[in-house]
Amino acid sequence: MVEESESKSHFGTIIGAVFAILIITMLLTMTLVAANKQTYYSAYVSSGDDERAILGQVTDMRNTLGEEEGYEIANTMSTPMLVNDWKDPHRTLLVIADPEKPIDETEADSIFRFVTERGGKVVVAADNTNANRLAAKFGVTYLGDPLLDKFQTWRTYTDDGSSGAENWEQVWALASIREDVNNDNWAGGGFKPPGCTQTQIDNGEVDGCRMPVMFKSPTAMRWESVATDNVEHPDYLPRFVRTLAMASDTACVDRVGSNGCDDPRNPNSNLSLVLRIDYPHIEVNDLRRLAGEDGSTYGSLEVTGSIVFISDPEPLSNRFWDADRASETDVRQTCDTELIACWQRQLSGDSAWRGNEFYFAALIYDMMEFDNEMLPYSIRLQFSEFRIVFDESRHVTGMLSNPFIETMSTIVLLTSDSFLKWLIVLNLLLLLLVSIMVVPEKENWRHVFDLTRFRERPNKIDPESYQQRMREALMTKIRLFYDLTRDEMAQKTPAETQSMIGDPRLVELAYSQQRTYSPEEKRQLLQTIRRWGKK
């Protein structure tokens, strides 16, 4: 009895040790396969082998919005398909910066519903076509090729004050927060809209001002009306499309690689850099001061779903987020006023560029529900009641790490609870361990090739089933000859089928249940079936 107890204890020790080794091995493997993967535009990668890797992240954006502004910061590493399951989606903004792999149709549908049905907020920044499935849901298209803009070009400067070479892919734009820059007041004549001041932003008075925004090798976007825009139906909410930033009239998208805008094949009109689409009057539930009519603590309110498309992820990156850091790469806050291509010539009042942080922080604030009077002050006055989620699932994974990423994505689809996620992982490892232990070892064997037995079938066919097999072969040949599906063949009446067969002997084979055939008759019928349908 004592020996049996010791044996069980020893077995349990072995199981525990193997289980611990599996966990450690899994974690080490995931770390090693991802160690050399260089990721850009991540909100959580704060180090790199070179300055370019550090400047190519969005950690400054995360720090500004989280630590300074006070938003609740989160991330999704599996898939944005779960956006509609998040807590209070109408107070949540999803940031998709530089999707390195295409957004698939299921994800695009989920994000579309997130905006148009749940009042969610989304920012998509891309300079390729990987976001076009999502953009197409809103009538937007990323052109994908680089934009060339001769008259909205910024230059870098060296320490001695000399300017660098002119690069038409280094583009600046004057961006608004709410107003369409193509409206009559701004698009005509010599009117100079004022630059937004901090006071205007703090007071939400941003209807008539613009701010400079820096881009690096952007593409351009176009938008068009969707089928529901002109349909008056309660199921189709009206939407408002605004172009917040545009390329100049002389700009083009270099589709043919000519490095110029003279080629007629290069698109050169209606080139948007920032687009905003709002869906107002979406009814959702949220915690309110007054209880709902059913006695619950939740009540309905109207919110606005918003999505912003940006033609370049660089404006969100560390390089352009803060003006001080940008100056380290020779990007100035002011431009040479002797140059025609200067944003300061287009603005009145406050015209200095103070980093893209100044613009995008104000844009995100305006997209959120801070001005929604149906929300209680306990929510509207607290930045922590609003969430910003960075999509980290858009980065390309290595061949070795991809199975781990896909496994975790599948688990997250099952549950978003952290405890349950790791419980599922541990259960999978335990099942793997048990399967390894219970599978018996295969007995020693060798293959013997015996020429004297090559005609013998492994499983002989029952002679009594020959007739049924002949009947099935006949009906299959008829169905294929007349190009019918199984369902179409089953719908044929006996008279129609007999007419299709034609041969009386084969009709008898197909429909007679009492007739039996000798071996010789079966051979003749097989030959008849083979010849059937041939001239």
| Tens digit of each residue's pLDDT (9 = 90 or more) over 150-159 | 888 888 776 6
Tell me the pairing of strands 147-148 and 252-253: antiparallel
Interatomic CA distance for residues 158 and 376, integer angstroms: 52
| Residue 345 near residue 313 (C-beta atoms within 8 A) | no
The confidence band for 81, taking pLDDT boundaries of 50, 70 and 90, is: confident
Q: What is the pLDDT of residue 259?
A: 86
- 371 or 82, greater pLDDT: 371
User: Does 58 score more than 80 pLDDT?
Assistant: yes
- 246 or 375, greater pLDDT: 246
Q: What is the pLDDT of residue 188?
A: 47
User: Does 204 score more than 70 pLDDT?
Assistant: yes
Residues 6+ apart with CB under 8 A from 273: 147, 171, 173, 175, 213, 215, 218, 220, 221, 244, 245, 246, 247, 310, 311, 312
- Per domain, the residue ranges of the chain are 10-37+401-438, 51-146+174-252+271-331+353-396, 468-531
Q: What is the pLDDT of residue 497?
A: 85
User: Does 260 score more than 70 pLDDT?
Assistant: yes
Closest to 134 (Cα-Cα) out of 159, 152, 115: 115
User: Does 406 score more than 70 pLDDT?
Assistant: no
Q: What is the pLDDT of residue 305?
A: 94
| Arithmetic mean of pLDDT, 419-446 | 58
Q: What is the pLDDT of residue 33?
A: 46
- 445 or 372, greater pLDDT: 372
The confidence band for 257, taking pLDDT boundaries of 50, 70 and 90, is: confident
The confidence band for 304, taking pLDDT boundaries of 50, 70 and 90, is: very high
Q: For residue 45, which amino acid is it? A: V
| Arithmetic mean of pLDDT, 472-486 | 86
The confidence band for 535, taking pLDDT boundaries of 50, 70 and 90, is: low
Long-range residue pairs from 163-168, CB within 8 A, at least 24 positions apart, any chain = 163/336, 164/330
Q: What is the pLDDT of residue 205?
A: 82
User: Does 444 score more than 60 pLDDT?
Assistant: no
What the block records as the tokens of 506 is: 């084969």
Interatomic CA distance for residues 139 and 172, integer angstroms: 25
Q: What is the pLDDT of residue 131?
A: 93
On average, the pLDDT of the chain sits at: 79
| Arithmetic mean of pLDDT, 106-135 | 92
Q: What is the pLDDT of residue 243?
A: 94
User: Does 500 score more than 60 pLDDT?
Assistant: yes
- 277 or 500, greater pLDDT: 277
The confidence band for 418, taking pLDDT boundaries of 50, 70 and 90, is: low
Q: What is the pLDDT of residue 120?
A: 94
Q: Each residue of 5-57: pLDDT tens digit?
A: 555 556 567 666 766 676 666 555 545 544 455 678 888 877 766 777 888 88
- The torsion of the CA quartet 528, 529, 530, 535, rounded to 10 degrees, works out to 70
Range among 75-79, 359-363, 400-404, 497-501 rated most confident: 359-363
User: Does 441 score more than 60 pLDDT?
Assistant: no
The confidence band for 357, taking pLDDT boundaries of 50, 70 and 90, is: very high
Q: What Å distances lie between residue 279 and 102, 182, 273, CA to CA?
A: 25, 20, 20
Q: Which residues pair with 171 in a beta bridge?
A: 153, 215
User: Does 213 score more than 90 pLDDT?
Assistant: yes
What the block records as the tokens of 2 is: 């004592």
What the block records as the tokens of 27 is: 């974690």
CA angle 53, 58, 64 (to 5 degrees): 135
**Percentage of the chain lying above the pLDDT 90 cut:** 28
The confidence band for 335, taking pLDDT boundaries of 50, 70 and 90, is: confident
Q: What is the pLDDT of residue 228?
A: 74
> Exposure of 174 by Cβ count < 10 A (0-12 exposed, 13-18 middle, 19+ buried)?
buried
3-state secondary structure 350-412: CCCCCCHHHHHHHHHHHHCCCCCCCCCHHHHCCHHHCEEEEECCCCCCCCCCHHHHHHHHHHH
Interatomic CA distance for residues 518 and 526, integer angstroms: 12
| Arithmetic mean of pLDDT, 247-273 | 89
Cβ count near 374 (within 10 Å)? 13
257: left (phi over 0), alpha (psi -120 to 50) or beta: left
Q: Which residues pair with 331 in a beta bridge?
A: 156
Q: What is the pLDDT of residue 2?
A: 47
**Percentage of the chain lying above the pLDDT 70 cut:** 71
The confidence band for 97, taking pLDDT boundaries of 50, 70 and 90, is: very high
Residues 6+ apart with CB under 8 A from 193: 174, 176, 186, 208, 209, 210, 347, 348
